[in-house]
Amino acid sequence: MCKLYLDDFHVGQKFGSDRLRVDSDRIKAFAAEFDPQPFRLDDEAAKGSFFGGLAASGWHTAALTMRLIVTSDFKPAGGVIGKSNEISWKKPVRPGDELRIESEVMEVRPSKSRPEQGTIKVCTTTFNQNDDPVQVLVANLVVPRRPEGSHHAHGE
């Protein structure tokens, strides 16, 4: 897969991903390490909670989304390197859910102060197997410009 420079991105460009299944054990293991609230760790406690049953930590959904982004065809040269994000959770992620993403480039901005790089704004929606959005992430990513004299991607 080609590495993409700032010059290779354009508004409206889209990227998809494979699916990734989330199971109950991983939901509880992530929560034990990072979000140890009783309703994340125990099925009975979860039933009486805001979520009405076991649901993945939002930060687990965010981390799984990062995996889906990094393993997709979205391959900025230099890596997927975030500066700032807006993230919102739309629906609980339940044991057995299968997540996938759809990403769309919203802005491409060369840097004024650093001519060798720029920023792209990418909106990534994470869907479950019923095509319900579970998370929306708007990320500002640092992307290098194509070095002068190097070849364009895709043989252009």
Q: Among 4, 22, 27, 64, which residue interacts with its own copies (rule: CB under 8 A)?
A: 64
Q: Which is nearer to its own copies, 5 or 156 (CB)?
A: 5
Smallest distance from the beta carbon of 71 to its own copies, in angstroms?
Answer: 7
DSSP character string of 12-32: T-EEE---EE--HHHHHHHHH
Pairing of strands 117-127, 133-144: antiparallel
Q: Among 2, 19, 21, 33, which residue interacts with its own copies (rule: CB under 8 A)?
A: 33
Token representation of residue 64: 């799984």
Is residue 34 a contact point for its own copies (CB under 8 A)?
Answer: yes
In angstroms and rounded to an integer, the radius of gyration of the C-alpha atoms of the chain is 18
The piece of 9-17, 86-94, 97-105, 124-132 that touches its own copies (CB under 8 A) is 86-94
- Tell me which residues in 134-153 interact with its own copies (CB under 8 A): 142
142: Cβ contacts below 8 Å, ≥ 6 apart: 78, 81, 82, 83, 117, 118, 119
Q: Among 13, 85, 119, 125, which residue interacts with its own copies (rule: CB under 8 A)?
A: 85
Q: Among 16, 18, 21, 71, which residue interacts with its own copies (rule: CB under 8 A)?
A: 71
C-beta of residue 29 within 8 angstroms of C-beta of residue 41: no
Is residue 67 a contact point for its own copies (CB under 8 A)?
Answer: yes
Q: Which is nearer to its own copies, 63 or 153 (CB)?
A: 63
- Size of the chain, expressed as the number of residues it contains: 156
122: Cβ contacts below 8 Å, ≥ 6 apart: 74, 103, 104, 105, 106, 138, 139, 141
Q: Residues in the site for its own copies, rule: CB under 8 A?
A: 30, 33-37, 39, 49-50, 57-60, 62-64, 66-67, 70-71, 78-89, 142
